[in-house]
Amino acid sequence: MFSPIPKISPQNVEKRIQDDPFQVIDVRSREEVRHGKIPQAVNIPLDELEERMEELDTSEQYVMVCRSGNRSAKAAKRLQKNGYDVKNMTGGMMKWRGDIEV
């Protein structure tokens, strides 16, 4: 049995991203990401996560992001089952108020 996925607010991601080593993974489609993403985020669309999982390091911490928090929760569960340290950003990009990279 796996523990619940830890959550992190967009405000905490914005504060911590400056000085805390973690990677943001945006699981939205490439088309969605073209409209703007968190500057440090890496785009791995949810439907590519299984085949691209080897790009990620189990010793790193990841924050999963999508539009509203649902797809990123699914992605976080998949990664957790495979031994990754993950958190889900609540509210997704709809609640993000920080900088956006286009």
Active site residue 76: no
Active-site position among 17, 66, 75, 76 = 66
How many residues are there in the chain? 102
- Residue 52 CA to residue 92 CA, distance in Å, equals 21
- Residue 41 CA to residue 101 CA, distance in Å, equals 9
- Residue 66 CA to residue 73 CA, distance in Å, equals 9
CB 86 within 8 A of CB 47: no
For the annotated catalytic residues, the residue numbers are 66
